[in-house]
Structure 1
Amino acid sequence: MEGDGERGPSPAPAGGASPPLHPGLAPLAFLLGRWRGEGEGGFPTINAFKYGEELTFSHSGKPVIAYTQKTWKLPSGEPMHAESGYWRPKPDGSIEVVISQSTGIVEVQKGTYDAEKKVVNLQSQLVGNASKVKEITRAFEVVNGELSYIVQMATKLASLQPHLKATLSKL
């Protein structure tokens, strides 16, 4: 029986096809796929900067979305930041998210989603292994086929304020 620990993982579907979408993920199907674009960042303690970015939201047939993100400097292409995690939507419109950053920071986020408006709003419950960061919020929205987001951050020295924003197109 699947998940009983006595058998290995199920084989990948023939031909590289995606497994059927779990019904619990249907409200967030608008996120699934690869997105690429450009963003900009800043904060009172750092200089403003621009970056290229790619986000991927994928699934394995289970009621969870796998999330990966990578950024690079414009125009050099030099790698900047990367993170990955899992998004677990609940039938009541709430969502739980865990994100591990390449900097060693771990976020546990909770929030809400609205399938009709194609929005997800996240609020940190825990920011682990961060000596300066106290709070992170993330707001995602899909409008006219483009994914945009705003990340806000609070530190020991600065209140919650915009840190990153980007607009990405589906590949």
Structure 2
Amino acid sequence: MEGENAGSALPPMHPAIAPLSFLLGRWKGQGEGGFPTINSFAYGEELLFSHSGKPAPSLLQPVIAYSQKTWKLASGEPMHAESGYWRPKPDGSIEVVIAQSTGLVEVQKGTYDTESKAITLQSELVGNASKVKEITRVFKEVDGELSYVVQMATMMTSLQPHLKALLKKI
């Protein structure tokens, strides 16, 4: 929602979140997708990465909340949405959970590199998916632009490119 944090100060950043502070904020841009079993397509996209400043009492470490939505470029009609939590650890590893609007759930583990501003994720579990067996995601921030590539493997195909996008902070 536009302006949902208008007028409210951001909470202080927890030190565990600091290595991924470049992600924080709202990103908007365009992407393209395809796969051997579907036609190629283009889409608009918005990502939001936010934090609460400190961990919930039940969490050992704070998290970055993540939400994403996409739409058809021509009509603005909604296409896909997902949300989840990113939990960076001091050793450079990261755990991510994502629930997609399609009902699919991803549990991913990976690494982040603060110098190159890159995050590499590999699925540990893809739940509620009859065909998808593996998903990887690679995010990189360069010169104020956030790019990503999503690869996917199904029961019928090996791991190959599915989505890529380039977003700017708004």
The two structures have a TM-score, normalised by structure 1, of 0.91
Instruction: Identify which of 17, 22, 25 aligns with 1:33.
Output: 25
Q: Which residue does 1:10 correspond to in 2? A: none
What is the alpha-carbon distance in structure 2 between the residues aligned to residue 139 and residue 128 of structure 1?
20
One-letter amino acid of the structure 2 residue matched with residue 96 of structure 1: E
Secondary structure in structure 1 of the residue aligned to 2:17:
helix
CA offsets per residue over residues 6-55 of structure 1, 9 Å max, x none? Answer: xxxxxxxxx51111000000000000000000000000000000000000
CA root-mean-square deviation: 1.0
Aligned match of 2:48: 56
Measure, in 2, the Cα distance between the counterparts of 1:60 and 1:155: 36
- Give the 3-state SS of the residue equivalent to 1:92 in structure 2: coil
| SS of equivalent residue, structure 2 residue 12 | coil
How many pairs are equivalent? 158
Q: Identity across aligned pairs (percent)?
A: 80
Give the equivalent residue in structure 1 for 2:148.
Answer: 149
How many angstroms apart in 2 are the aligned matches of 1:53 and 1:30?
18
Partner SS for 2:53: coil
Q: What is the rounded CA distance, in whole Å, between the counterparts of 2:149 and 2:67 in structure 1?
A: 17
- TM superposition outliers: structure 1 runs of 4+ over 3 Å: none
* 1:48-87 deviation line (CA, Å, top 9, x unaligned): 0000000000000122100000000011100000000000
Matched, 1:17 2:16: no
Q: Which ranges in structure 1 are unaligned for 5 or more consecutive residues?
A: 1-14
Cα distance in structure 1, aligned partners of 2:22 and 2:53 = 16
1:43 to 35, 40, 46: 35
Q: Provide the TM-score with structure 2 as the length reference.
A: 0.92
